[in-house]
A and B are shown apart, each in its own frame.
Chain A
Amino acid sequence: MSRYSVFSLLRHAATGNRGWQRAWRAASPKASYDVVIIGGGGHGLATAFYLAENHGVRNVAVLEKGYIGGGNVGRNTTVIRSNYLLDGNTQFYEFSMKLWEGMSAALNFNVMFSQRGQLVTAHSADQLDTFTHRANVMRSNGIDAEILDRDSVRKLVPYLDFSDTARFPIHGAIFQGRAGTARHDAVAWGYARAASGHGVDIIEGCEVTDFVRQGDRIVGVETTRGRIGAGRVGLAVAGHTSVLAQKAGLELPIESHLLQAFVTEPVKPLVDHVVAYGADHFYLSQSDKGGLVFGGNLDGYNSYSQRGNTGVLREVCEAAIALMPNISRLRLLRHWGGIMDMTPDASPIISLTPVDGLYLNGGWCYGGFKATPASGWCFAEMLATGETPALVRGYGLGRFRSGHMIDEAGAGPFAWLQ
């Protein structure tokens, strides 16, 4: 695979850009692989890449029912941050942040990681206190965090509603300067290209329909392109984890719910950071094309349809205008939805399973994009060694039985409230 560089750009420019190769090989399934990964989203592709790169396991296939980047990895609002409070999450997401910081160089692919900084506004003295607690936990873990008072927030983001009539006046904010955004589908493409370069087969248009067992052990998968044998099978199918796990006889603490994203018509540079509204579930950033990209709450009931309803559309627009009245005349260009595994504590599951040969990576709720590199890194280690890496020991399936949940939202066992 030829490397991308300034020189390759110039060379191709001089020859009319007719010589570019496919970014990854279009592979056909072999009879069997050491590791089969189900799901060609960011997590599945990152797992394949780190299996080859870190562990030398190259006889690997990623099976994707649609096309690379068509799932949640290409549907999210691209926010990357590591401002988590609870043990387990704090360290994991910071490890992920460090991988983001080196990702474009490691993959030889520009994922346009932009550390523009994220702030979450606080709307009462009490909320600012809890943010201060969070900032202290972050700083004691070596993560950058600042607490801003009202005047400093105003200097940074003067376009928010600081008027006397603001429904929820801004008291301050928590700020993480290293947080930001990345080009989401470039992440899928970059991992796919780098994994393919290591010999991994990326097979699109290949849906896994069942598992092949020998005794109690899973030894392969049935697909729409025939049976494929596997030494180990890793499941990384985002919103469809329950559907496939059931075929393996596993019932999980997961519900599938829908989250929408929204983008406005493009405007001139206006929003320099990622801004999250502490008074409601709402956040926004500005894309490089100029559109304001934002999101809010789940639709709130089980759903496997990748389209949202207008109730949430209205709530999100109300929150947008409450936070930032000057965008009230902007037109919304598009909105879309993605299906997510919601867990009862809002934390992911990276785990061995009671089914021999089957490994689980799911339950990302709506925060799994930022986790993509760390998730792939750790899941690859799990698939290569059969052991649970220290960094994800808190994400095991057993935590719901033992009571060691990592309940960041504190919403209890109600998936749709997380």
Chain B
Amino acid sequence: MLRIDCPCCGVRDHSEFRYGGDATAERPAHDNPDLDAWYHYVYVRANPKGLHREFWQHVLGCRQWLVVERDTVTHSIHSVSFSRRRRA
């Protein structure tokens, strides 16, 4: 069982969360006509063996989307932060 330290709720079992996949994929601008950019965003994954930045949503808690840095071999969690970006 992974234990994720939610910045709102504290340490919780990962069964309270929903996995959201790779957090490094950059969404192209909405009006970007470049098919290659969309292909990469939707399908291509680095899939590292080691540190992975990924989304988790705390569905059974505060419902925030988080970015978790986790090692895909050891499952040790290196950092947890909110995924929303601050407006400048």
Contact surface of A with B, Cβ cutoff 8 Å: 240, 242-243, 246, 251-256, 300-305, 309-311, 344, 400-401, 413-416
- Which one, A251, A305, A416, contacts B21 given CB within 8 A? A416
Given contacts A255-B47, A301-B54, A400-B43, contact A310 B21 (CB under 8 A): no
The interface residues of chain B lying within 8 Å CB-to-CB of A344 are: 42-43
Inside 8 A of A246's CB, which chain B residues have their CB?
46
Q: Which residues of A contact B2 (CB under 8 A)?
A: 301, 309
The answer to whether B42 and A413 have CB atoms under 8 Å apart is: yes
Contact call A302/B47, Cβ cutoff below 8 A: yes
B47 with A311: CB separation less than 8 A: no
**In the complex, chain A residues whose CB is within 8 Å of the CB of B19:** 300-301, 416
Give residues 31-60 of B contacting A (CB, 8 Å): 35, 39-40, 42-47, 49, 52, 54
Name the one of A253, A304, A309, A413 contacting B72, with C-beta atoms under 8 angstroms. Answer: A304
Given the known inter-chain contacts A300-B19, A401-B35, please indicate yes or no for A305 contacting B43, CB distance below 8 A.
no
Most chain-A Cβ atoms within 10 A of its Cβ — which of B21, B46, B70?
B21
Majority SS at the chain A contact face: mixed
Judge if B12 is at the interface, Cβ distance under 8 Å: no
Q: How far is the CB of B7 from chain A (nearest CB, A)?
A: 19
Chain B's closest residue to A413 (CB) is B42
- Cβ-closest 4 pairs across A and B: A242-B47, A253-B43, A304-B49, A400-B43
Q: Does B1 contact A (CB under 8 A)?
A: yes
Question: What are 17 A-B residue pairs whose CB atoms fall within 8 Å in the complex?
Answer: A242-B46, A246-B46, A251-B40, A251-B46, A252-B44, A253-B44, A255-B21, A255-B22, A256-B49, A301-B19, A302-B72, A305-B73, A309-B2, A311-B1, A344-B42, A400-B42, A413-B43
Assess whether B75 is interfacial by the CB under 8 Å rule.
Answer: yes
Shortest CB distance B58–A (Å): 14
The residue in chain B whose Cβ has the minimal distance to the Cβ of A250 is: B44
B81 contacts the other chain (CB 8 A): no
A414-B21 in contact (CB<8A): yes
Chain A residues with CB under 8 A of B14: 301, 311
Q: Which residues of chain B are near A415, meaning CB under 8 Å?
A: 21, 45
| Shortest CB distance B50–A (Å) | 8
Residue of B nearest to A309 (CB): B1
Considering the complex, give the chain A residue whose CB is closest to the CB of B2.
A309
The chain B residues found within 8 Å of chain A, CB to CB, are 1-2, 13-15, 19, 21-22, 35, 39-40, 42-47, 49, 52, 54, 70, 72-75
Is there an interface contact between A253 and B73, defined as CB atoms closer than 8 Å? no
Q: How far is the CA of A415 from the CA of B25 in the complex (A)?
A: 14
Q: Is the CB of A255 within 8 A of B73?
A: no
- Smallest CB–CB gap between B4 and chain A, Å? 11
| Complex CA–CA separation, A302 to B25 (angstroms) | 15
Contacts of B70 in A (CB 8 A): 301
* Cα of A305 to Cα of B43 in the assembled complex, Å: 23
Tell me the nearest residue of chain A to B52, going by C-beta.
A302
B21 to chain A, nearest CB (A): 7
Residue pair B74, A305 in contact (C-beta under 8 Å) = yes
Distance in angstroms between the alpha carbons of A106 and B49 in the assembled complex? 38
Nearest-Cβ distance from residue B49 to partner chain A, whole angstroms: 5
Contact A305–B72 (Cβ < 8 Å): yes
Q: How far, in angstroms, from A253 to B74 measured CA to CA in the complex?
A: 23
Residues on B with C-beta less than 8 A from A310 are 1
- In the bound complex, how far is the Cα of B39 from the Cα of A254, in angstroms? 13
In the assembled complex, the Cα of A413 lies from the Cα of B43 at a distance in Å of 7
Cα separation A301 to B21 with both chains bound (whole Å): 7
Nearest B-chain residue to A243, judged by Cβ: B49
Q: How far is the CA of A416 from the CA of B22 in the complex (A)?
A: 11
Q: Besides A253-B43, A301-B70, 16 other CB < 8 A contacts?
A: A242-B46, A246-B46, A251-B44, A252-B45, A256-B72, A301-B14, A304-B49, A305-B73, A309-B1, A311-B1, A344-B43, A400-B42, A401-B35, A413-B42, A413-B43, A414-B21
A300 to B44, CA, bound (A): 18
Neighbouring A residues of B49 by C-beta, 8 Å: 240, 242-243, 256, 304
Instruction: Please indicate the chain B residues that have their CB under 8 angstroms from the CB of A255 in the complex.
Output: 21-22, 45, 47
Contacts of B21 in A (CB 8 A): 255, 414-416
- The answer for the CA separation of A310 and B75 in the assembled complex, in Å, is 14
A82 to chain B, nearest CB (A): 27
- Do A311 and B43 contact each other (CB < 8 Å), given the known contacts A304-B73, A415-B21? no
- Residue of chain A at shortest CB distance from B49: A304
Counting chain B CB atoms within 10 Å of each CB, the highest count among A240, A302, A305, A400 belongs to A302
B44-A303 in contact (CB<8A): no
Instruction: Give the docked Cα–Cα distance between A401 and B39 (Å).
Output: 6
The residues of B that contact A253 with a CB separation of less than 8 Å are 43-45
